[in-house]
A and B are shown apart, each in its own frame.
Chain A
């Protein structure tokens, strides 16, 4: 699962880079989302155990020995929550971006009037 860890860290760094260098508000929102996706990917990769199945018990073998055959279900439950929170924060950011644009006619923070 090291590949997914590496991808997640790369996403996080790309998001941070975007947040540190971009000035356009839409680009900043996108950068924040990329960072958030990286964190979520990292959480999913935490629950992975080698050679195991998803925690959906759709066959008899899985039901009989569920504890030995499925990956950890708790990080999946956590990531479900954190994705929705990310959506909520993004919605709020976009609303205030729209409001900023209506007032100033520009998407770049600091270029008022």
Chain B
């Protein structure tokens, strides 16, 4: 089984390699989608193959498979995630090599620590440890944003730091809410105990944790921080943030998917759907390749949210088909509509960098409004 996994990855990499030189950013997206699909397929086939395994948060827990734990399923995802992310980073470095050579050494150090953060996020089984590694991951991203020494990147870094710092604090609040009630921080314990999963405070905690993850993942009302970076950022920053960030947090979301219950799930699905429709419409209508790339990133981020949620909760193979269709459709639109500038970036005019004075305030207000709405919805539904 593991041998075939490596074989498939290598074959796909071999197929994609010749294309990278022409359209690097697009190929990164394509590889990401493929890896994600293959990982989910493996989980589903594995669960069908092992027997009647069902996730423990299912209502009907009587049919819990014998001897197969959630740890095994998480282990499979982890294996795939590591493969995907490492190959993504190799592809990224290959495609952005000539840009990276002009970048300072501290940026490369940050990239290295970023890899540490990604591996930590994927491998850890402890919520508080997850917080630490998310923090490492997000703080090292400033090495990418600040790769060029310009004024607009300073403004972007400031907005990025404020928004992500606030999101991290909200994540920590959710973690502590779980610890306060159950005295537990370990995923394996939380996931295998229905009495924890069905508790009222777990719902609140999951709202806080998930909204923090969705902020970092560029989900619909919360994608304000990524827009200027994707619009005016340098080429490595644009691709890295547009591609690696949704991928890593999607795997995070799969790990956290046990925390997603009725209302929470509906809320996330609705926001994801709004984001997909809105950004797909914007993408089709715009002519500029760079603009289209922004909307594509937002669209894909939401697609991964939806795919991860639906596929891990309902083990129906039909959904995979729909997911494949949707993703490939988006990829086709991308291939036809956009021509990404692959060379060094043209200088950006000043009016593109000018931000309205209230932007950071409005951004934080939006974020708090989303969290409040989310919390209120769960509180009313409970």
Contacts and interface: CB of A to CB of B under 8 A. Distances in A.
A109 B162 CA distance: 12
Contact of B166 (A35, A74, A75, A97): A35
Interface string B327-366: 0000000000000000000000000001111111100110
Interface residues of B, number: 35
Contact of B132 (A23, A35, A81, A99): A81
Contacts of A82: 131, 172
Given A19-B166, A32-B166, A109 B354 contact: no
B33 to A, nearest CB: 33
A76 B355 CA distance: 41
A35 B361 CA distance: 15
Interface string A71-94: 010110010011001001100110
B45 interface: no
A36 B154 CA distance: 23
A19 B361 contact: yes
Most buried by B among A89, A92, A104: A89
Contacts of B173: 39, 42
Given A32-B165, A36-B169, A100-B154, A21 B361 contact: yes
Contact of B172 (A23, A25, A39, A110): A39
Interface residues of A, number: 37
B323 interface: no
Contacts of A108: 357
A75 B180 CA distance: 9
Q: What DSSP secondary structure best describes chain B's contact surface?
A: helix
A22 B139 contact: no
A23 B355 CA distance: 13
B306 interface: no
A75 B176 contact: yes
B368 interface: yes
Given A20-B365, A108-B357, A110-B355, A75 B179 contact: yes
Contacts of A35: 166, 169
Nearest to B362: A20
5 contacts: A20-B368, A89-B161, A89-B165, A93-B162, A111-B357
